[in-house]
Amino acid sequence: MKVWQKPGFWLPLVIVLVWGGAVLLIHQDTMRESAFVLLMAVGLASSLNILLGYTGYVSFGHIVFFGLGGYTGFYLLSEQGWPLFASAIGGGLLSAFIAGLVGLAVLRLRGAYFALATIGINEAARAFVSNFEPYGGATGMFVNFSAYQKYGGPGPALWTTFTFLWITTMVVLVASYLVKHSRFGLGLLAIREDEDAAMVMGVKAPKAKTITYVISAFFPGVIGTLYFFKNGNIEPGDAFQLHMSIEMLVMVMLGGMGTVMGPLVGAVGYQWLRGYLLTSPIFKDLHLAVAGAMLLVIILFVPAGLVGWVRNHVQRLQKVLE
Amino acid sequence: MLDQLISSLTDGLLLGFVYGVAAMGLTLIWGVMSVINLAHGPVIAMGMFGTYLLFTHLGVNPYLAMVPVAGAGLIAGLVIYVIAVHRVINAPHLSSLLATFAVNMIIIGVGTAVFSTSPQNINYSLGSVEVGFLTFPASRLVGAFGAILVTACLYLFLYFTRAGKAIRAVANNRMAAELMGIPSSRVLALSFGLGTMMAAVAGGLIATFFPFTVLSGGPYELKSFVICVLGGLGHPLGALVGGLMLGGLEGLIPTFMPVSWVPVVEFGLFVLVLLVRPSGLFGAK
C-alpha cells in the first residue's frame, strides 16, 4: 500500500482516529458532545473543501445539502422506521441526487453568479420544506421514540450516532485525499486555475464539476441525518441556516483551502476560538465582532490559511501536510 | 375580489420602490467593482437605527433624519472600502465575499452588544390616504416618493457630474479609465460609499413602515440579491424595476396561495433567472 507511506494521507486520519477512539474509551457525555460538534465541523468543512478547494467554485449555500439530507434521513428514520445507518445513507444519497440535478444547471454559472445561485437554492429549499407537509411544515418533526429502542434507549443511541459520525468524518478525509491525488483531481485543479484552458486540454469540465458537486453534497446529507437524530427534532430554521454555511467557508479558509489537513485544522481552530470568545468575560458580548475582525485579518493578510502558510514557509513540512 | 387584488398590488408596488433603493446600492457596487457586498444587510439595519436614534432621542423628523443618515452611510462605506475591500479587489471572488462578510459580522456583533436584538419601531404616523376604494398608510406613499427622489439624484449624479462620469468609466473598463488619468482607487471608494449610502437610506425608509431589530437587514439583503438578478446585476435602473416586480409579486401571491409560499416563488424565480438569463430580465445579452 503506497498511500500509507505518505504522511499527508494518514496524518489527518490518525488524528481523527485517535481522537474519536479516546472519546469512545473514556465514555464521558460532555466530552462526546463537544467532540460531536467538532467532528461535525471537520466533516462539513472537508466536504465543502472538495468542491471549493479543488475546483474553486464558491458554494455559499452548501448547508442546503445538510438540511435536505438531514430532513430525508430523519423522515426515513423516524416516520418509516429505517435503521440509523440506512437512513443516513438515504439522506446522503438524496442530497447527492439533488446536487446532480441542480449541478448540471447551476455549475454553468461562474464566480459570483454561482455563489448567488447557491444562496438562492438554499433559501428556496428552506421555504419549500417549511410548506412541505410530510416533513412537518414550519414546525418540523420530532423523533419517534421507538427509533431509540433499537439502540437500547436514548443514551446508547447517542453513542452509536457519535460512532457513525466519527467513521463518516474519516471517510470524508479519505475521499478528500483520493480526489486530490487522482487523475480526476488533477483535472479539477486545472479547472480551478483556468477553466477554459483546462477544457482545451481535454478536461471534461461540466462532468467533472458535477461529479465533484455530488461527492461534496453526499457527506453533508449523512452528517445532517446524524446531527438531527442526536438533537431529536428538526425544523426548517435549524436545517438551512445560511450562517452555518458561511461558517463552513470560514473554517476552510482559516485552515487553508485545497489542502486535506486545512479543513481539519480550520474547523477545530474556529470552534475552539468561538467557544473561547463566547465564554470569556471580556469578549462575550462582542464575540461576533471579534471573530469578524480575525476573519478579516486572515483574508487580508494570510489568504492561504494556516496550513497553506506553513506549507509555503517551511519547506520540510511540504511533504507532511497535504 | 378585483378591489382586493388592486389594493394588495398597490401596497406591494409602493413597498417595491423602497426595495429597489436597497438593491440599487448592491447593484452599483457590483457593477463598478464586481464585488458582492455581504455587509449590505447590516448597513440597512444601521440606517434603520440611525433614523430611530435621531427621531427618539433628538426628536428629528424621520424623513429629515435621512439626510444625516445618508451622510453617515457614505462615510461608513468609504471606511469599509479602505479597510476591508481595497486589498482584495483583484483577488478571487471568495476573498471579497468573505471580507465583506467579516464586516457584516463586526457590525452585527457591535450592534447586538449596543442595541441587543429586541425589536424597536419609529412611532411616527402620517395617517392614511384614501384614493377611491384604496386605503394605504401615507408613510408608504412618502417612502415611494423618497425612493424615486433618491433614484433621480443617483441618475443625475452618474450622468451629469464629473465624479459620476468617472464612476461610469471605471465600471466600463477600469484599465482604460486609469490610462485616461482617472484615479480608480478613489472612484471605487466613492462608488462603495454611494452603494452603502443607498442601503442606509433604504433602511431609514423601511424603518418608517415596520418594526425592526439589529438583524432585520438580513432579509432585505436577500431580497436585494433577488432584485438585482431580476433587473440585471450592475444596472441601477433595472434594480428599481426589479424592486417593483418583487414588491408586486409579494402583494399578489398572498391573494392566490398561503403567504408562506412567497419565498418559494421568489427564490425559485431568482435561480431560474440566473440560469436562463444571468444578465437579468432587462440587461443586455
pLDDT in tens, B89-146: 888 888 888 899 899 999 999 999 898 888 888 888 787 888 777 788 888 889 999 9
**CA distance to partner chain B, nearest, from residue A192 (Å):** 11
B182 part of a folded domain: yes
DSSP state of A2: -
CA A318 to chain centroid? 25
What pLDDT digit, counting tens, does each position of A246-265 carry?
A: 889 889 988 888 889 999 99
How many structural domains does chain B have?
Answer: 1
- Going by C-alpha positions, the residue among B144, B180, B140 that lies closest to residue B162 is B180
Q: Are B231 and B281 a contacting pair, CB within 8 Å?
A: yes
Of A56, A257, A292, nearest to B103 by CB-CB distance is A292
What pLDDT digit, counting tens, does each position of A196-240 carry?
A: 999 998 889 899 999 999 999 999 999 999 999 999 899 998 899
Residue B150: pLDDT band (50, 70, 90) is very high
Tell me the residues of chain B between 200 and 229 that have a Cβ less than 8 Å away from chain A.
Answer: 222, 225-226, 229
The CATH number assigned to the domain holding B20 equals 1.10.3470
How far is the C-alpha of A156 from the C-alpha of A153, rounded, in Å?
A: 6
How many structural domains does chain A have?
Answer: 1
What pLDDT digit, counting tens, does each position of B240-258 carry?
A: 999 999 999 988 888 888 8
B282 part of a folded domain: no
* pLDDT reported for residue A1: 52
Cα distance from N-terminal residue to C-terminal residue, chain B: 39
The CATH number assigned to the domain holding A106 equals 1.10.3470
Compute, in degrees rounded to 10, the torsion defined by CA atoms A57, A226, A19, A42.
10
Averaged pLDDT for residues A300-304: 87
Contact flag A292-B267 (C-beta cutoff 8 Å): no
Share of chain B above pLDDT 70, in %: 99
Q: Which residues of B touch A286 (CB under 8 A)?
A: 109-110, 113
**Rg, C-alpha atoms of chain B:** 19
B127 part of a folded domain: no
- Going by C-alpha positions, the residue among A259, A257, A271, A273 that lies closest to residue A321 is A259
Q: Pick A144 or A255 by higher pLDDT.
A: A255
Residue A243: pLDDT band (50, 70, 90) is confident
How far is the C-alpha of A220 from the C-alpha of A63, rounded, in Å?
A: 8
Q: Are A25 and A186 a contacting pair, CB within 8 Å?
A: no
Q: Which residues of B touch A246 (CB under 8 A)?
A: 98, 101
Does residue B103 belong to the interface with chain A, where contact is any CB pair within 8 Å?
yes
Q: Please say if the pLDDT value at position A28 is more than 50.
A: yes
B122 part of a folded domain: no
List residues bridging with A26 in a β-sheet.
none
Contact flag B102-A108 (C-beta cutoff 8 Å): no
Residue A40: pLDDT band (50, 70, 90) is very high
Share of chain B above pLDDT 90, in %: 51
Q: Which residues of A touch B258 (CB under 8 A)?
A: 131
Tell me the residues of chain B between 246 and 285 that have a Cβ less than 8 Å away from chain A.
Answer: 258, 260-264, 266-268, 270-271, 274-275, 278
Averaged pLDDT for residues B202-219: 91
* pLDDT reported for residue B108: 92
- Residue B2 makes CB contacts below 8 A (sequence gap 6+) with none
Q: Which domain holds residue B78?
A: 2-116+136-276
* pLDDT reported for residue B74: 96
What pLDDT digit, counting tens, does each position of B64-81 carry?
A: 999 999 999 999 999 999
How far is the C-alpha of A311 from the C-alpha of A318, rounded, in Å?
A: 5
B235 part of a folded domain: yes
B128 part of a folded domain: no
Q: What is the mean pLDDT of chain A?
A: 89
Cα distance from N-terminal residue to C-terminal residue, chain A: 18
* pLDDT reported for residue B283: 59
* pLDDT reported for residue B127: 79
Name the helix (H) or strand (E) containing B207.
helix B184-207
Averaged pLDDT for residues B181-196: 93
B123 part of a folded domain: no
C-alpha distances (whole Å) from B127 to each of B9, B12, B122, B141 are: 20, 18, 14, 11
Averaged pLDDT for residues A79-98: 92
Residue A2: pLDDT band (50, 70, 90) is low
B130 part of a folded domain: no
What pLDDT digit, counting tens, does each position of B12-43 carry?
A: 899 999 999 999 999 999 989 888 899 999 99
* pLDDT reported for residue B285: 44
* pLDDT reported for residue A3: 65
Does residue B88 belong to the interface with chain A, where contact is any CB pair within 8 Å?
yes
Q: Please say if the pLDDT value at position A5 is more than 80.
A: no
**Interface mutation vs chain A, best among B40, B105, B224, B266, most A CBs within 10 Å:** B105
* pLDDT reported for residue A51: 94
**CA distance to partner chain A, nearest, from residue B161 (Å):** 30
Q: Please say if the pLDDT value at position B279 is more than 80.
A: no
Does residue A115 belong to the interface with chain B, where contact is any CB pair within 8 Å?
yes
Averaged pLDDT for residues B172-193: 92
Q: Are A67 and A231 a contacting pair, CB within 8 Å?
A: no
Q: Which domain holds residue A255?
A: 3-318
Q: Which residue of A has its CA nearest to B84?
A: A296
Q: Pick B206 or B232 by higher pLDDT.
A: B206
Q: Which residues of B touch A251 (CB under 8 A)?
A: none
* pLDDT reported for residue B284: 54
Does residue A284 belong to the interface with chain B, where contact is any CB pair within 8 Å?
no
